[in-house]
Amino acid sequence: MTTADAWSETPATALLVLSDGSVIEGQGLGATGQAVGEICFNTAMTGYQEILTDPSYSGQIITFTFPHIGNVGTNDEDIETVNMAADSGIRGVVLAAGITDPANYRAAKDLDAWLKSRNIIGICGVDTRALTALIREKGVPNGVIAHSPDGRFDLESLKTAAANWPGLVGMDLAKDASTTQSHAWTQTTWKWDKGYGDAEGGRFKVVAIDFGIKRNILRLLADAGCEVTVLPATSSAEDILAHAPDGVFLSNGPGDPEATGSYAVDVIREVVGKGIPTFGICLGHQMLALALGGKTVKMHQGHHGANHPVFDHTTGKVEITSMNHGFAVDADSLPDNVDQTHVSLFDGSNCGLAMTDKPVFSVQYHPEASPGPRDSHYLFKRFTDLMQRSAAEA
């Protein structure tokens, strides 16, 4: 008898209820209770702990297409939320196979216990290939994930909750994902046998606006010689300019860029208008486009994974990138003084832009995630080069 057969004969202790009323049964993992969110799929084969702590996934239930998740356990280092104790906002996780015992020297806790500690509900024993095919065909559904060890569920209540959840369009989730106060960042990237380092000063003063920033972005900025100050998502242009930055970084984050843009776009527009070198990633890329006069759209299924090929028009090269976004910039909406610099080779969607008359650029993907493994690290040098050139011209 296969594991799947065994699960099929065991009463379900977890359910995934879709907004159309479909019910998927499985075995519960992690926290108990129920949570509602948008169900997406991620095609990465590694890095599940980084994915599950990425604030950009706030409001979402993640389906992993790779069947074996959890076999290297978890630790206290591979966490992407800036506040390591904070809830990342992820609503749940969907797995094909159950979680095995960890087999890695860095493992400090097995994934099931770790999910419990972070209040993330999980379900396993799901045909994730079929669920992924459904999402690709019909688009990302809303749904409820529920875990009850005794197998008792109020199914009608779950169906109602799934059907009534409004979805991510119009949701500003960056405020909840962001830091609440300014702070300095000095930690550098992990090195074999040494762990993380600590930067001593930096050539360039950079203000990073935290819309749900990942720790490794900040580490790579520190590696690149930046003295980084992190500010909350709701910071004003005056707050930013008071630090006299050589450059401004616009971070990744969750939710609808137009909703977050209701308070951030005017700030970004003012910063750009001052001619300050500016670099955006993911949500920061989308809001930069809005600030420059472009538009964003909700995607059919989004891009979530570590194997997305992107063509860089500025170098003529293809990068293998990590992506996590359900909204995209409408390239046709960009004004004449903005070039499309990067494009997805999966669906042709916009993946980068640069102003022709100011030191401003951004990308849709995550260059710090290194699936290539370092195809996109040049972007951090591009940012420091812009700051150096701007200082020389001042």
282 is a catalytic site residue: yes
Same domain, 135 and 179: no
366 is a catalytic site residue: yes
Is 283 annotated in a binding site? The answer is yes
Same domain, 139 and 73: yes
In the set 124, 226, 282, 351, the catalytic residue is 282
**Pair of tokens at residue 334:** 């960009």
Same domain, 9 and 63: yes
CATH assignment of the domain containing 294: 3.40.50.880
Same domain, 82 and 187: no
Same domain, 135 and 253: no
CATH assignment of the domain containing 33: 3.50.30.20
Same domain, 125 and 213: no
Q: How far apart are CA 286 and CA 282, in angstroms?
A: 6
Is 290 annotated in a binding site? The answer is no
Same domain, 152 and 209: no
Q: Is 380 helix (H, G, I), strand (E, B) or coil?
A: helix
Domain final residue, candidates 107, 131, 164: 164
- pLDDT at residue 394, rounded to an integer: 80
Q: Which residue has the higher pLDDT, 371 or 109?
A: 109
pTM for the full model? 0.95
Q: Assess whether pLDDT exceeds 60 at residue 3.
A: no
pLDDT tens column, 247-287: 999 999 999 999 999 999 999 999 999 999 999 999 999 99
**Pair of tokens at residue 21:** 């009323």
- pLDDT at residue 10, rounded to an integer: 78
- pLDDT at residue 362, rounded to an integer: 98
Q: How far apart are CA 140 and CA 297, in angstroms?
A: 14
- pLDDT at residue 85, rounded to an integer: 46
**Which of 264, 266, 270, 236 shows the shortest CA–CA distance to 250?**
264
pLDDT tens column, 25-47: 999 999 999 999 999 999 999 99
Q: Write down the mean pLDDT value for the chain.
A: 94
Same domain, 61 and 185: no
Structural element, H or E, at residue 171: none
Q: What percent of the chain has pLDDT over 70?
A: 96
**Pair of tokens at residue 13:** 């202790």
pLDDT tens column, 181-208: 999 999 999 898 888 999 988 999 999 9
Task: Tell me the residue range of the domain where 279 lies.
Answer: 174-393
Residue 2: pLDDT band with limits 50, 70, 90: very low
Residue 80 lies in a domain: yes
In which order are the strands placed within the sheet that holds 350-355?
A: 183-185, 226-232, 204-210, 247-250, 278-281, 360-363, 350-355, 338-344, 295-312, 317-330
Q: What is the dihedral of CA 262, 263, 266, 269, to 10 degrees?
A: -100
Domain count, the chain: 2
- pLDDT at residue 5, rounded to an integer: 44
- pLDDT at residue 8, rounded to an integer: 52
**Pair of tokens at residue 280:** 């955006």
Number of residues in the chain? 394
Q: How many helices (H) does the chain have, and how many strands (E)?
A: 11, 19
Is 327 annotated in a binding site? The answer is yes
Residue 83: pLDDT band with limits 50, 70, 90: low
Is 253 annotated in a binding site? The answer is yes
Q: How far apart are CA 186 and CA 351, in angstroms?
A: 29
Q: Assess whether pLDDT exceeds 80 at residue 6.
A: no
Is 56 annotated in a binding site? The answer is yes
**Which of 36, 40, 60, 16 shows the shortest CA–CA distance to 299?**
40
Phi, psi of 309 (to 5 degrees): -80, 130
Residue 230 lies in a domain: yes
| Region of poorest pLDDT, from 74-83, 181-190, 214-223 | 74-83
Helices (H), the chain: 3-8, 48-52, 111-117, 128-138, 155-164, 174-177, 215-223, 237-241, 257-273, 283-291, 378-393
Is 348 annotated in a binding site? The answer is no
Q: How far apart are CA 302 and CA 323, in angstroms?
A: 9
Q: How far apart are CA 376 and CA 383, in angstroms?
A: 12
Same domain, 220 and 337: yes
Is 324 annotated in a binding site? The answer is yes
Q: Assess whether pLDDT exceeds 90 at residue 371.
A: no
Q: How far apart are CA 298 and CA 309, in angstroms?
A: 20
Residue 169 lies in a domain: no
Same domain, 270 and 226: yes
Domain final residue, candidates 164, 182, 207: 164
- pLDDT at residue 4, rounded to an integer: 42
pLDDT tens column, 96-139: 999 989 999 999 999 999 999 999 999 999 999 999 999 999 99
Rounded to the nearest angstrom, the gap between the alpha carbon of residue 366 and the centroid of all alpha carbons in its chain is 8
Contact 246, 207 (CB under 8 A): no
Three-class HEC string of 309-333: EEEECCCCEEEEEEEEEEEEEEHHH
40 is a catalytic site residue: no
Residue 370 lies in a domain: yes
- pLDDT at residue 87, rounded to an integer: 61
Same domain, 187 and 99: no
Same domain, 47 and 157: yes
Is 155 annotated in a binding site? The answer is no
